[in-house]
Amino acid sequence: SQELEQSPQSLIVQEGKNLTINCTSSKTLYGLYWYKQKYGEGLIFLMMLQKGGEEKSHEKITAKLDEKKQQSSLHITASQPSHAGIYLCGADSGNQFYFGTGTSLTVIP
C-alpha cells in the first residue's frame, strides 16, 4: 500500500521560532511534493523534490529529500502567523498523487 507518514501531527510554535516537519515513506519515491492547505481551502503547491539529496528553498521554507528518497523534511525559519495551516507531503504512483495525513501548524503571535 502507498503510505506517507508525517510527524508531528500537530505543532504549536511561537512566532519567530524555527520548526521542522517530517515525511517518511516505506518505499523509495519517484518524487516528493509539499503542499500547504489552509483550513477549509484547497491545496497550495510549495515544492517538488525529485533527486536524492535535493534541497529547495522558497522564502523561509526549505525542503530536503534524503539520498534514499524515502524521507523528506520541511523546515520553516522564523515562523510567522501566515505560515499557519496544514502541511501535506505527497508522492506519485504513476497515475495519481497520494498524500500523507498532514501536519497542522499553529503560529502564536
Partner 1 sequence: EPEVTQTPSHQVTQMGQEVILRCVPISNHLYFYWYRQILGQKVEFLVSFYNNEISEKSEIFDDQFSVERPDGSNFTLKIRSTKLEDSAMYFCASSEQGPRNTEAFFGQGTRLTVV
Instruction: Confirm or reject binding of residue 93 to partner 1 (CB under 8 A).
Output: yes
Rounded Cα distance between 65 and 39, Å, is: 26
Report the residue number, 84 or 88, with the smaller CB distance to partner 1. Answer: 88
Report the residue number, 69 or 79, with the smaller CB distance to partner 1. Answer: 69
Report the residue number, 3 or 15, with the smaller CB distance to partner 1. Answer: 3
Instruction: Confirm or reject binding of residue 106 to partner 1 (CB under 8 A).
Output: no
Residue 86's CB: how many other CB atoms inside 10 A?
Answer: 18
Is the link from the previous residue into 8 a cis peptide, with omega within 30 of 0? yes
